[in-house]
Each structure stands twice: as C-alpha cells, then as structure tokens.
Amino acid sequence: MTSTTELGTSGSSAILSQDIEEIASLFTVTPTDSPTPDDERVAKLDSPKFGTVFSDHMARISWRRDDGWIHRRVEKYGPLQLDPATAVLHYGQEVFEGMKAYRHADGTVWTFRPEENAARLSRSAHRLALPALPVDDFIAACAVLVRTDIAWVPDAPDSSLYLRPFMFASEPFLGVRPADEVEFLVIASPSGAYFSGGVKPVSIWVDAEYHRAGPGGTGAAKCGGNYAASLLPQSEAATKGFDQVCFLDGGSNTYLEELGGMNVFLVMADGSVHTPELTGSILEGVTRSSILRLAADHGRDVVERRIPLTELVDGLRNGQVSEVFACGTAAVVTPVGRLAGETFDATVGTGEPGDLTMTIRRELTDIQYGRAADRHGWMRRLA
C-alpha cells in the first residue's frame, strides 16, 4: 500500500505518500469565478441539512476506452451538461462512495481509510462494467478537492465535510453495452452532527416482501440502482412509522442482510458481537470492518455468520440478544431500539442505546476526530 502518512518526515512537505502527491500535482485547479462570500459560507456551515449544501469546487477525471483516465482537474461546482442519450440515464451504469473529511483540533484535516473506499469503488465499478480507478487517483482527487475547499471543512463537534466520489457512464449511446466514456467526480458537502439532539435509537421494519439485492446481483456493489430498489420499501416502512428497513436475503428470505445503506450488528448477552457474513449480496462497509476490529480489541468474540431472523426475534424475547446497532459512514453507529415485522414487534434491551454500541461509537469517532491515538493506522492527512 503506497498511501502511508508521512507525518513528521523531515524535509518532505508531502502529507500523503509521494506517489499520491505526484498524482495530486497532475490536477489542474481552475478556481471558481464566483466563490461563496465568507459570511455566506459561514452561515451555510452552521448545521446544514445533510446533502443540501455543496462546496465551491468539484474534482473530476474523464475516462475514454482508448485513452484511459485523462484530464485530472478541479473546477467550479456546477451542473453537468448531459446529452439526453447519456447511458447512465437509461441503464443506470453508476457507482459511488461516501467518506468524510474531519477537522482535528489543531486545524489539520484528515480522512479515514480512503484506500478501502478506493478499492471498493473499483470492485463496484467492475460489477457495473465500469473501469477501475487507481487508488492513488481516487485519494489524490479527494485531497486536491479538500485542499481547494479547505474553508468548507466545518469544525463544530461531530461535523465533517462529506465527500461523495462517483463514477458514471457518460457516453451518449442507447446501445446496451458498457460505455466507452466515463466520468469520475468528487463533490463535497459540509454536514453537521447526524444526531443533533444526542444519539437516539431508531426503529426498524424487517422487510419480508422486498429485497434490495439477490444472489448474483449487485448487492455487494455500491451502486445507485441498489438505492433505487430500496426507496419504495423504505417509504412503505416510514408510512408504518419506522425509521429504517432491514432486508433479508433474496435467496431464502430467512437471513438478515442489512439496511438500505447501513450494515447491522447484534451484541449477545454473552458479550459476543455478531454481524451477517458477506455472502455477495451485502455491501462491505468500511465502518463494519472497523467495528469488527474495535470489538476484537475489546476481547470480544466477533462472529461473521448467517443470522436467521427467527434467531434474532427469539433472542430479543429471551434476552440472548442485548444490543442491536446499524453502522455506516454517515451515521457512524446508530442504536436500534425496536425491530418489527409482519409477525413480531420487539424492543431491543430497554429500548435505550446499548453500552457496547455507545462505547464503539465513541472509540471510532475519537479516532476519526483525532481525540484518540490512531492505533490501527487508519487516518490519512489530507491538509
């Protein structure tokens, strides 16, 4: 892995690896002709609604089948002009990522395990017949954008600059085949604390009617289409009064998979920590893998396996399951207070956030915000 931090390396101004800094230097930065005035930006950074405010610039790399990745640049944030025949609008050939840039107390800006997001983007791209983007290009694009829009990285508690890298088929062509023209972009959206009034447990509807993914499908890819498939189940669950949906496996409708955009964990009364194993239809979360590590650090047994819904329901009733939480980059760790489906309705523990849930949440955010030692070498300094 080339992207080791070089903090403290005397004589080097590089804060990412030399390889990434070299790629970063290939980006042409064209500053916007209409930067957001300082007072307006400060107002926008004050508790923005998630995904509604964007920084002044975006990073962009184009791909042509004959040329590979070309034209690395950072330019003014703004609308894309697309031909109505653009392939992504018809066949959904698109993948994306979600990461955060965190401002530490000393003003430096860091991100969390970006190599994992970069590698996952290329795995997702492979499934969607899109080109792989080198890890160094991915991290360099994020770094150059964050450096250009450094003033957009908020410093309020639990706030961050959310980064949304994405890649789509930009070729205007209605034939059904992988596109020969692709765009990769990174946009940045300042985001406030996910739980503004303190961490609050969510309620989950376990859906036995719809699936977000099936065997051999695109469940393990982070693609827009999976989200499109989860919107109707999500809104039907909301109508029933639930915050989120948990999907079961599409093959047998028996085992827990995940939420529309978060992985799920159980903490058992014996202290062990369980999460559905990656069967090919579950998205491999970076938060999930980090939590498996942190739980193991606590000396907990961590188990990745198939978890039948019936076992969860029985466990909630007889006390063998003591905590349930969901996890992902945006919300980090979200306690689950209630789970229900067609045939059951159960409170998790007392309905309040569990102890391990909150401990893991704190440990992870302490590492991300630089309040605790980065003992696993997960943080990369961007600026």
Does 338 sit near ligand PLP (CB under 6 A)? no
Does 245 sit near ligand PLP (CB under 6 A)? no
Site stretch for ligand PLP (CB under 6 A), options 27-35, 149-157, 234-242, 286-294: 286-294
Residues 84-123 as x/- pattern, contact with ligand PLP by CB under 6 A = --------------x-------------------------
Does 225 sit near ligand PLP (CB under 6 A)? no
| Alpha carbon 377 to its chain's center | 19
- Rounded Cα distance between 24 and 28, Å, is 9
What is the β-pairing status of strands 273-276 and 302-305? Answer: parallel
Residues 183-222 as x/- pattern, contact with ligand PLP by CB under 6 A = ---------------------------------------x
Instruction: Report phi then psi at 84, rounded to 5.
Output: -60, -20
Does 285 sit near ligand PLP (CB under 6 A)? yes
| Amino acid identity for residue 157 in this structure | P
| Amino acid identity for residue 163 in this structure | L
Does 287 sit near ligand PLP (CB under 6 A)? yes
Q: How many helices (H) and strands (E) does the chain have?
A: 9, 18
Does 261 sit near ligand PLP (CB under 6 A)? yes
* Smallest separation, CB 259 to ligand PLP (Å): 7
Going 379 to 201 to 330 to 160, the CA torsion angle's sign is negative
Closest CA to 272 of 310, 231, 238, 307: 307
* Smallest separation, CB 286 to ligand PLP (Å): 4
Tokens of 324: 């349930």
Site stretch for ligand PLP (CB under 6 A), options 45-53, 129-137, 235-243, 281-289: 281-289
* Smallest separation, CB 290 to ligand PLP (Å): 8
Residues 123-162 as x/- pattern, contact with ligand PLP by CB under 6 A = ----------------------------------------
CB atoms within 10 A of CB 4: 15
23 and 2 Cβ atoms separated by less than 8 Å:
no
* Smallest separation, CB 280 to ligand PLP (Å): 13
- Which of residues 203 and 287 has its CB atom nearest to ligand PLP in the complex? 287
246 and 210 Cβ atoms separated by less than 8 Å:
no
- Rounded Cα distance between 114 and 3, Å, is 9
* Smallest separation, CB 223 to ligand PLP (Å): 9
CB atoms within 10 A of CB 269: 13
285 and 328 Cβ atoms separated by less than 8 Å:
yes
Tokens of 238: 């909301």
* Total residues in contact with ligand PLP, by rule CB under 6 A: 13
CA angle (234 as vertex; 228, 235 as ends), nearest 5: 100
- Which of residues 15 and 199 has its CB atom nearest to ligand PLP in the complex? 199
- Rounded Cα distance between 223 and 201, Å, is 27
- Which of residues 114 and 315 has its CB atom nearest to ligand PLP in the complex? 114
- Which of residues 27 and 205 has its CB atom nearest to ligand PLP in the complex? 205
Among 15, 182, 206, 262, binds ligand PLP (CB under 6 A): 262
Residue 261: CA count within 13 A, CB half-sphere: 16
* Smallest separation, CB 227 to ligand PLP (Å): 7
* Smallest separation, CB 213 to ligand PLP (Å): 8
CA end-to-end distance (rounded Å), the chain:
20
Tokens of 14: 């590089």
Site stretch for ligand PLP (CB under 6 A), options 160-168, 183-191, 196-204, 258-266: 258-266
- Which of residues 93 and 263 has its CB atom nearest to ligand PLP in the complex? 263
Q: Which residues bind ligand PLP (CB under 6 A)?
A: 98, 222, 258, 261-263, 283, 285-288, 328-329
